[in-house]
Structure 1
Amino acid sequence: MNKLAPLLLAALLAGTAQASDSSLSQVDETPSAGAMAFDLLLVRPLGLVTTVLGTGIFILQLPFDFSNENSKSKAFDTLVVEPARYTFVRELGSTE
């Protein structure tokens, strides 16, 4: 019985540490009004410029990459789709 006591104590302490850890994970991650305003007035217009420039660069690189089908898809995703998603799809004020 004496050898079993430290094992039971360790199991009890591990359970309490796990319970307190889960209570810390409930953090409010909604963006503030300042973050939303910054996103709307500065970040979104820069995203639009990036999308337009990426589209132009994609069109310019098409003649050089005409033979490889996979490369066109990857270039289109990188230069056009990702900036467009960042600009138009994500939630206002989010950092993702």
Structure 2
Amino acid sequence: MNLFRSTAAALALTTAAMALPLQAWAGQDGTDPMYNVEAPRAFSMVGDLVVARPLLIGATLVGTAAFLVSLPFTALGGNVGEAADALVVEPGREAFVRCLGCSSTQQQQMR
């Protein structure tokens, strides 16, 4: 058991020591060296396409249904536009307009 703990501690310290230069480089210019805003990495694009976009399309459909159900109440309250923006337009914009692999803040920075 002692050998296992020693090996695990040595592995953890070695991994931490190998990550230090990367962290130091990331802090110099304020950017993350693993991700570039102008050109998202392939794994970001694949993750966005396979995971995020289907979830956002589902959120848009669920939001549209919730908007239609709440429409009489929002009409009485006078905030139909705000409800439409929050439930339908924002998820739809994230699903269909945002660039592949970008977050919404990165999309705004690119404009």
Q: How far apart are residue 25 of structure 1 and its match?
A: 6.2
In structure 1, C-alpha distance between the alignment counterparts of 2:75 and 2:44, rounded to whole Å? 42
Structure 2 unmatched ranges of 5 or more: 1-27, 105-111
Structure 1 unmatched ranges of 5 or more: 1-22
Q: How far apart are residue 26 of structure 1 and its match?
A: 7.5
**Structure showing greater Rg:** 1
In structure 2, C-alpha distance between the alignment counterparts of 1:95 and 1:62, rounded to whole Å? 30
Over aligned residues, Cα RMSD in angstroms? 1.7
TM-score (normalizing by structure 1): 0.68
Choose the corresponding residue for 1:38, options 24, 44, 47: 47
**RCO (CA 8 Å, sep 6+): is it higher in 1 or 2?**
1
Q: How far apart are residue 65 of structure 1 and its match?
A: 2.3
String of CA shifts for 1:27-77, please: whole Å, max 9, x gaps: 7322110010000011000000000000000000011222343x1000000
Q: Secondary structure at the match of 1:73?
A: helix
Choose the corresponding residue for 2:87, options 71, 76, 79: 79
In structure 2, C-alpha distance between the alignment counterparts of 1:82 and 1:51, rounded to whole Å? 8
In structure 2, C-alpha distance between the alignment counterparts of 1:68 and 1:86, rounded to whole Å? 27
Counting only pairs closer than 5 Å after superposition, residues 40-55 of structure 1 correspond to structure 2 as 40-55=49-64
Q: Which residue of 2 aligns with 1:61?
A: 70
Instruction: Could you list the structure 1 runs, at least 4 aligned residues long, displaced by more than 6 angstroms after superposition.
Output: none
Q: Which residue of 1 aligns with 2:107?
A: none
Q: How far apart are residue 24 of structure 1 and its match?
A: 3.0
Letter aligned with residue 66 of structure 1: A
Letter aligned with residue 80 of structure 1: V
Q: Which residue of 2 aligns with 1:88?
A: 96
Aligned residues with identical type, % of pairs? 38
